[in-house]
Amino acid sequence: MAENEWMNEVRALVGKEYGRIYAWDKINAPMIRQWCEIMGVDPARYMAEGAVIAPPAMLQVWCMEGLIANNYPPGSTKENPYEALKLMEAHGVASVVAVNSELTFGRDVLEGERLYYSTRLDSISEQKTTGLGTGYFVTLCMTFFSEKATGDEEVGSLLFRVFKFNPANPVKPGADKPKAEAAAAPVAKRPMPGMSDDTRFFWEGARAGKLLIQRCKGCGELRHPPGPVCPSCHSFEWDTVEASGRGTVYSFVVMHYPEVAPFDHPNPIVLIALEEGTRLISQMVGIAPGDVRIGQAVQVEFNRFNDGELVLPQFRPVATQGVAA
């Protein structure tokens, strides 16, 4: 089918309203408390006596299906609000870049309210040609409501926009470049960190095999990433403390795409909670990406890249110390 024919089918969906997706649970204090703890927010600010308020940034969270895909409560629509995207993928427009998400909050939502949202396919742009390939901006609008006996009330909205495109130079998995091309291709180097008077100590410490953390001279609080002023007491005076390099995985993501040289993919990026009490972002080595777990004990190691020009603190599970990355 020619592109103009199937795109006409896709564009015919613009303006379509999809049915309700309900929240599994009413707004409740335990979920608010757990969300706040995970996000590092004091739950007390939302738990005033007699009025439990959900953090605004949780708006989208209440109506998520959970770990089981497309598992929604009874009464939710069976329609797929991403119908247009699926049609585009079926015709080769399957790659994604430039995801944009904008949450708008109408009012606070309170303990005991039950939410749902409906989706509208807002627009599909004209064809756009970029260095990555040719495709279309697709915009969806989700509107969130609180279900009430006296009439449902709009409490917020989410605009979701994504660029779906057909890659200009697709690479088939497992395809090898011609040997001559591979030999001529320059070896990609890791990007060098931006260095300033605030961060120079950290990178110089890494070159010396030390994990240095900034410490406020006023109140003694550790902070990372480094900065010119203490966020707690606003003192400009600071020194450093050498961390042991021991810690645990506080959180992590495994990056699959886009594949950016010279990094290996899948690429496990971890947020490490150091035993000294602060956190920093790094890479995990010496472990299969699928085996990374929250709470794993780790130890720092300093690895050289770019012919020794760059030294990075990376983390390895304690149980695999000494095993090659």
The type of residue at 95 is: S
* pTM recorded for the entire structure: 0.56
Contact 252, 294 (CB under 8 A): yes
H helices, E strands: number in the chain: 5, 16
Q: What is the pLDDT of residue 209?
A: 93
Q: What is the pLDDT of residue 193?
A: 85
Cα–Cα distance for residue pair 5/27, rounded to 1 Å: 45
Angle at 284 between CA 204 and CA 58, to 5 degrees: 105
* Per-position pLDDT tens, the chain of length 325: 566 788 999 999 999 999 999 999 999 999 999 999 888 888 888 987 778 999 999 999 999 887 776 778 889 999 988 899 999 999 889 888 878 889 999 999 999 999 999 999 999 999 998 877 889 999 999 999 999 888 899 999 999 999 998 887 665 555 555 555 545 556 678 888 888 888 999 999 999 999 999 999 999 999 999 989 998 899 999 999 999 999 999 999 988 877 777 888 888 999 999 999 999 999 999 999 889 999 999 999 999 998 888 999 999 999 754 444 4
- Residue ranges in the chain assigned as alpha helix (H): 3-11, 29-39, 83-90, 179-184, 200-207
Two structure tokens written together for 135: 């495709």
Contact 79, 18 (CB under 8 A): yes
Q: What is the pLDDT of residue 94?
A: 87
Q: What is the pLDDT of residue 322?
A: 46
Cα–Cα distance for residue pair 120/142, rounded to 1 Å: 6
